[in-house]
Amino acid sequence: MGRWEPNARGRLVQAAMELYGERGYEQTTVAEIASRAGLTERTFFRHFADKREVLFWGGGELQELLVSSVADAPDSTAPIDAVAAAFEAAAAQLQERREHSRQRQAIIAANAELRERELIKLESFASALADALRLRGVADTAASLAAEAGVAVFKIAFVRWLATGQPDFPQLIRESFDELKALTAGAGVT
């Protein structure tokens, strides 16, 4: 096989997701992923450091999108609204790959190590968002609070997006931030 393989990355991701779903993440080897994709292990390692990275490589890109969204928000935007806009932008991007997100979530839910890794990714989002808010001049604690609350909303909206038929993920993000606002204003007494 030649050095260049058309859409090698996409084929590897597809093969890995299939195998993780069929036989479990633990039981799948890099050799099997490469074989299923019709590629060599060497090609796999040109694209990914290990089999876990197939599930997490998009996180860095998403984090950059979150940070740049906060940085680009108009000066008059309240911190919580800058964070909401950032997650709306992230949701618009994730929405293009709903089936991939759904498969990925099922694989992660089935493995303790992957769940931990996912929590660390979200922690990293919160930390990066808080830093981005501080760069806008938001006070230290307010920045951390807005960022962490934003991640909390995102986590819940993400689960709802995959669990329900609602296809408009950015809309779900907006609704969930509105719900947080209502809750902190004292709503929800039964």
* Residue ranges in contact with its own copies by CB under 8 A: 75-81, 115-116, 119-120, 123, 136-139, 141-142, 144-146, 148-149, 151-153, 155-156, 159-160, 176, 179-181, 183-190
Name the residue nearer to its own copies (CB basis): 44 or 79: 79
CB-nearer residue toward its own copies: 3 or 76:
76
8 A C-beta contact, residue 162 and residue 105: yes
Q: Given the structure tokens 């911190």, which residue do they identify?
A: 79
Q: How far apart are CA 37 and CA 59, in angstroms?
A: 23
Taking the complex as a whole, the smallest distance from the CB of residue 67 to its own copies amounts, in Å, to 17
CA dist 67 and 120 (Å) reads 17
31 vs 187 by CB, closer to its own copies? 187
Which tokens belong to 190? 């039964």
Taking the complex as a whole, the smallest distance from the CB of residue 110 to its own copies amounts, in Å, to: 16
Least Å from the CB of residue 189 to its own copies: 5
Would you state the structure tokens that stand for residue 133, as one six-digit string?
């808010």
